[in-house]
Amino acid sequence: MKQTFTRVAIVLISLNAVLAVMILALGRMGDTEGKILGTSLLATASALLAMVQVPALRGQRLGIAPMTGIAASGIGFLVVAVGMWTELESDTWWRLGGSGYIIAVAAAVAAILSGWPVRGRAGWVQSAALVLIGIGAAMGLGGIWLEIDNEAFGRIFAVVLVLVAAAGLAIPILHRSAVEEFHLSIEHCPFCGVRMHGETDSPLVCKACRRTFNVRVDA
């Protein structure tokens, strides 16, 4: 599944580049050209949002969140693309598209952060980040559908986003620091079994079979 999303994303990114170059070369950006480029960009964004959630889905992390995020990215793309081409003026329709992308982005961020497990005393940081992501998504959806135009609400929402960003920066550091506390000596090649010497978290090359590998220990 990940390879499929990767191929699709590469094709779409290439298509975006070609379309942008063609439009610039022609020297005009009409309504149709704008819709074509916009649709291509939306498709690329949706594919990337879905792709980053595949590892969490395969690793059975976060329950149904990754699959929900993948579905939401597809729904968001279809709704926004149809609305853009048909020039719909329905607020409900655009709210539905925006809701799809809010859910997709929240699930994607959660999936990325879940890929750096933090265990031990600092484990609460990761748990708090996932809770804050859920709160931020709920507030975003509430702001769209309930049309909340309140200064206090906006400030609280901004605080939640700042905390999520801070946790997003801290989690990889905490994960890495925990991993570095454990170093094991590698005595045999995992491919051919020949005796060798090396340590975890550093690239190793077997002199017998010439295979390169890396052994990581999660704390």
Q: How many domains does the chain have?
A: 3
- Residues 191, 129, single domain; the answer is no
Angle in degrees, 0-180, between the axes of helices 65-86 and 91-114, rounded to the nearest 10: 150
Instruction: Identify the pLDDT of residue 184.
Output: 62
pLDDT, tens digit, 9 for 90 and up, residues 56-111: 988 889 999 999 999 999 999 999 999 999 988 899 999 999 999 999 999 999 99
Domain boundary among 96, 115, 134: 115
Instruction: Identify the pLDDT of residue 182.
Output: 53
pLDDT, tens digit, 9 for 90 and up, residues 7-26: 766 776 777 677 777 766 76
Give the dihedral sign, CA 84/90/94/100: negative
- Residues 187, 145, single domain; the answer is no
- Residues 163, 188, single domain; the answer is no
Give the residue numbers spanning the domain of 141. 117-167
Instruction: Identify the pLDDT of residue 63.
Output: 92
| pLDDT greater than 60 at residue 2 | no
Query: In which band, very low, low, confident or very high, does the pLDDT at 219 lie, cut at 50, 70 and 90?
Result: very low
Contact status, residue 35 vs residue 84, Cβ threshold 8 Å:
yes
Q: How far are the Cα atoms of 43, 55, 69 from residue 5, in angstroms, in the given order?
A: 11, 12, 14
- Residues 38, 110, single domain; the answer is yes
Query: In which band, very low, low, confident or very high, does the pLDDT at 6 lie, cut at 50, 70 and 90?
Result: low
Q: What is the mean pLDDT of the chain?
A: 84
- Residues 85, 101, single domain; the answer is yes
- Residues 72, 141, single domain; the answer is no
- Residues 129, 219, single domain; the answer is no
Global pTM?
A: 0.74
Within-domain flag for 84: yes
Q: How far apart are CA 19 and CA 34, in angstroms?
A: 10
- Residues 96, 15, single domain; the answer is yes
Domain boundary among 74, 98, 115: 115
Within-domain flag for 172: no
Within-domain flag for 174: no
- Residues 16, 28, single domain; the answer is yes
pLDDT, tens digit, 9 for 90 and up, residues 17-54: 777 777 667 666 678 777 877 888 888 889 889 989 98
Within-domain flag for 175: no
| pLDDT greater than 80 at residue 5 | no
Query: Which residues make beta-bridge pairs with 204?
Result: 213
- Residues 67, 159, single domain; the answer is no
- Residues 127, 154, single domain; the answer is yes
